Amino acid sequence: RDAQVDRIRQLEQARIEFSRQTEQARLVEEKRALEERRVAEKEALQRRYRLCLANAEENYSLNWAEQCKKNAAKNQADRIDCFAKDLLSPSTKTLATSIDERESQELIIALVGPVGSGVSTSAKLLTELLSTDFSYIVPPPFKQSDIIASEARRVGMSQIPRAPLNVYVDQMQTAGNKLREKFGSDYLAEKTIEQIVKFRTAKGAIQNGKAMPGRRAYIIDSLKNVEELNLLRKVYRETLCVFGVFAPDEIRQQRLVNAGAKVSDVTKVIDRDLGEAGTFGQMTRKVFSLSDFFVCNDQKEEELRRKLKRFLQIIFD
């Protein structure tokens, strides 16, 4: 009888141990399956992200073109932009459905993008394309960094060192913020408009306070504040197109390092450029989201040229 009891106890212990091992094996298998699922979901997310980068320009540009058609159907009067006392006055003509039909064929392209994304390169390529492929008169891009450099003395920052790059970027951003705080959030846009008016006047493109017809294009490099974009949209209306230029973080970081920035300071420069808490600070991230076209600049310059040319063809279609 005692032997039988011991046998039953041994069997029960074996059953318990078997159950414990089975449960442990089940937990290990669940953990493995969960990890595999997480990896698969991460890979799927990365694939969707890469697909988004590859198709973002086309998707947004198609949406933009469709919206333009809707706007053209709704509006009954064309508006001619002119930086004068009576800024926008209604016309008796119906709204043009293409640039070629407008009384003025002027085009304003403003660029926005995080530091290191290739905004200045895009401005250079757009200038070349509009001149050679679309027969436009295009002055050199209007760079807001040039405005900041020339106006920095007005906020006590006349000597901004060009190197190292991270110090230059930091002080230029600080000077830009101080200018906005002292003279208004849209101050840099006002100075840009002033430069455009001077160019128009020099070319005889303004008569009796109005912009005359002509194939002229102006490239603005680049916007950093929402108030600047709002002023440009108010002044130029349908003739303004905003290009958002972006690139993966690792590519931007390497470009900044190659340009002379210290590796230890690159992240700080990028974070400050994307968005600051202050009212007069840069808000690149917010302005970027309001772009009409989105251009991924993660390959060679020739590929960037091809993408920009495709967008120009959409604009002129």
Instruction: Look at residue 38 and tell me whether its pLDDT is greater than 80.
Output: no
The confidence score (pLDDT) of residue 95 equals 36
The confidence score (pLDDT) of residue 51 equals 56
Which contiguous run of DSSP H or E holds residue 210? strand 210-211
> 91: cis peptide before it, omega within 30°?
no
The confidence score (pLDDT) of residue 72 equals 43
The residue type found at 54 is A
Instruction: Look at residue 166 and tell me whether its pLDDT is greater than 90.
Output: no
pLDDT tens per residue across span 42-98? 676 656 555 554 554 444 444 544 544 454 444 433 333 333 333 333 333 333 344
The confidence score (pLDDT) of residue 76 equals 34
Decide: 196 and 217 in contact? Cβ < 8 Å. Answer: no
Decide: 271 and 169 in contact? Cβ < 8 Å. Answer: no
Which contiguous run of DSSP H or E holds residue 174? helix 165-183
The C-alpha atoms of residue 239 and residue 245 are separated, in whole angstroms, by 19
Confidence of residue 146 (pLDDT cuts 50, 70, 90): very high
Instruction: Look at residue 211 and tell me whether its pLDDT is greater than 80.
Output: no
- Distance in angstroms between the alpha carbons of the first and the last residue of the chain: 99
Decide: 154 and 179 in contact? Cβ < 8 Å. Answer: yes
Higher per-residue confidence, 82 vs 259: 259
According to DSSP, the residues that pair with 211 across neighbouring strands are: 206
Confidence of residue 303 (pLDDT cuts 50, 70, 90): very high
The confidence score (pLDDT) of residue 108 equals 95
Give domain 75-316's CATH architecture. Answer: 3-Layer(aba) Sandwich (3.40)
Decide: 221 and 143 in contact? Cβ < 8 Å. Answer: yes
The confidence score (pLDDT) of residue 162 equals 81
DSSP for 82-111 reads -SSSS-EEE-SSPPPSSGGGSS---EEEEE
DSSP letter assigned to residue 163: -
Single pTM value for the model? 0.67
Domain ranges in the chain are: 1-61, 75-316
- SS3 for 218? strand
According to DSSP, the residues that pair with 293 across neighbouring strands are: 243
Percent of the chain with pLDDT over 70: 76
Higher per-residue confidence, 220 vs 102: 220
